């Protein structure tokens, strides 16, 4: 077994660029449409799998940190990562949307490294809370990381789960929010957030009792620093929430922050606008 932990920030950036290139190439070839929500969280996935989480080459290793991918329509990047580390067969990833067993939303498959099935939004965090509570009761050392979308945080089930996590001091739980400012085909502000109050999510999380930080969700250094400041703390007593500011469609210039690309493939002409596969990081 090979430990996957320990890539430097520079190596993480190169890995994220490789994952993006692969994600886009296979998705375009096979006609898989949720490219934009997948691209916004690639840097977060790479930071977790290649640096932060305690995992090895065995996806069913008992002591592994658990990862719950709640915004499951954007799971393409997770599949590329799992193929890259060997949990998913390369041919299964390359056959995605073309007869492969991998689904458009994650389906639970421990042997392939998918901890739980998600897709109906607002369910991943409650499941992650249950897992973290179970770990605490059994006094086992692994941690639970859960990734949700910012639009998904409108689901009431998340806030019930947070109340439980805070009440039971689940310090082994880290919630990461892919805060790209869009949900489905519009902006959060148009749909649910009151105009001019974008920072309300952080305030709500703090009011519920979570430890809260924000970071640039496309900067490996920023993501790792925010999470490691928690995990290296010995007296951590609360669940944590990291609001990672991201850009939907990050990496393909034609797609970045454009709502219509939620589930739409770019044309050849649009692809000519170029990409950020070189690992260029925007200020967020």
> 166 and 239 in contact (C-beta within 8 Å)?
yes
Q: With beta carbons less than 8 A apart as the criterion, state whether 227 and 5 touch.
A: no
Minimum CB separation of residue 184 from Mg ion in Å reads 8
Residue where the block lists tokens 């082994």: 172
Judged by beta carbon, residue 113 or residue 151, the one nearer Mg ion is 151
Least distance between Mg ion and beta carbon 4 (Å): 27
State the nearest-atom distance from the C-beta of 253 to Mg ion, in Å: 19
- Tell me the closest approach of the beta carbon of residue 98 to Mg ion, in angstroms: 27
Residue count of the chain, please give it: 284
- What phi, psi does 147 have (nearest 5°)? -110, 125
**CB closer to Mg ion, 70 vs 171:** 70
Cβ proximity to Mg ion: between 116 and 179 the closer is 179
Rounded Cα distance, 19 and 17, in Å:
5
Q: Which contiguous run of DSSP H or E holds residue 40? A: none
Q: Which residues bind Mg ion (CB under 5 A)?
A: 149-151, 180, 182-183
Q: Least Å distance between CB 154 and Mg ion?
A: 10
Cα(155)–Cα(147) distance, integer angstroms: 14
Q: Which residue lies nearer to Mg ion by CB, 15 or 248? A: 248
Nearer to Mg ion, 164 or 263 (CB): 263
Residue 213 is given by DSSP the state: E
Distance of CA 255 to the CA centre of its chain: 19
């Amino acid at each position: 077994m090979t430990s996957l932990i320990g890539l430097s920030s520079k190596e993480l950036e190169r890995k994220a660029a490789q994952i993006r290139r692969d994600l886009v190439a296979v998705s375009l070839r096979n006609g898989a449409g949720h490219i934009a929500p997948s691209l916004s969280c690639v840097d977060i996935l790479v930071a977790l799998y290649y640096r932060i989480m305690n995992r090895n080459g065995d996806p069913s290793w008992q002591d592994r940190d658990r990862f719950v991918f709640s915004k499951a329509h954007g799971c393409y990047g997770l599949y590329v990562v799992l193929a890259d580390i060997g949990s998913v067969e390369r041919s299964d990833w390359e056959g995605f949307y073309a007869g492969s067993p991998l689904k458009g939303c994650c389906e639970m498959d421990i042997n392939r490294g998918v901890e739980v099935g998600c897709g109906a939004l607002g369910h991943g965090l409650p499941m992650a809370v249950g897992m973290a509570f179970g770990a605490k009761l059994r006094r086992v050392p692994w941690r639970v990381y859960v990734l949700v979308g910012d639009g998904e945080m409108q689901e009431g089930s998340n806030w019930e789960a947070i109340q439980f996590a805070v009440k039971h001091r689940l310090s082994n739980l880290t919630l990461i929010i892919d805060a790209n400012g869009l949900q489905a085909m519009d902006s959060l502000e148009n749909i649910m957030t009151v105009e001019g109050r974008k920072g309300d999510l952080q305030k709500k999380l703090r009011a519920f009792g979570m430890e809260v930080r924000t970071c640039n969700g496309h900067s490996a250094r920023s993501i790792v620093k925010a999470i490691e400041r928690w995990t290296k703390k010995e007296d951590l007593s609360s669940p944590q929430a990291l609001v990672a500011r991201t850009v939907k469609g990050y990496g393909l210039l034609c797609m970045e922050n454009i709502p219509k690309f939620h589930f739409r493939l770019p044309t050849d002409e649009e692809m000519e606008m170029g990409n950020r596969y070189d690992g260029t990081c925007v200020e967020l």
